[in-house]
Chains A and B, each alone.
Chain A
């Protein structure tokens, strides 16, 4: 369990949040032109990094807003939090 600093509400307990998986996976611009391989890549394949990973979180039991997080999955340390649409911080 860890504390998460929601960019809208401030520091809250992790149980208020829902993890939304890997961040910055772009929806294909031309879905009709995608091959099966490219669809599989978009839908299913994940980086699943052991180390610093970019991910989406939702303050589900709070403001219900989505935001991004940079977190080290090997020790659960949160490196940075930034709003949707903002540029990810460089490592």
Chain B
């Protein structure tokens, strides 16, 4: 186990508007160590992207409120000033976003944009130096360096995705956040890119948070998984434990709703009901209204996070006491 890269404690994100407060992420706590790759999974609207955007501090200040602590290699991301933040942006903490097709300016060459991004932290860098560095990264994502002098519209979606990944690695970041980075691609391209990401990770020794709603992405490219539901973490653990033997009723339900390639064909099961209204406060467990194993206490009291079988769980079924 390497040193801790990100340590999240009681991390909250609340969206504000005139009439209500929407609690998009509540009391999230987990740790990521150097070399880890954490898959953050959950259904649409569960707060995955909100968590990522809040960590990157890219949410509009006026309409969001972030509290708790997010210790990122000795600095608290929640409290950093905009100026301090600018120093670590991309250099320590970089990201690949959804819809990479649009993540480059259509009227500037890829090379120009790469140069500008690199010079944010290395103002004096020479063109040749940047080109050499980026060519190496392009090679990692299996692209020719012709891309450097291309415009975004001259590349395919899969190529742009690879370029985005290469750009995110240009400053050797400590932590890379991939927010649904492969969702828009076809399965074959997605598989190829994921393989490359895993290989690159070993070569560059980086740490990654992978946000997705696709369990297979987590299974093939991550070693840890965090399951999030309605803004609250349900279960956090190693992929090999959680996917084989889920403990939390929500994780079980989520896994049952994905088909398996191996083994017998069994009927897929959804979880009945839908996400609760996050602008309201709930006394009990947020999942209790949809849970099959719901008990009296679930409706009255929030479960505490407990550690069991090497993972963190938020459920009254575990922790012995109840």
Q: Say if A and B assemble together.
A: no
| B interface residue numbers (CB < 8 A to A) | none
| A interface residue numbers (CB < 8 A to B) | none
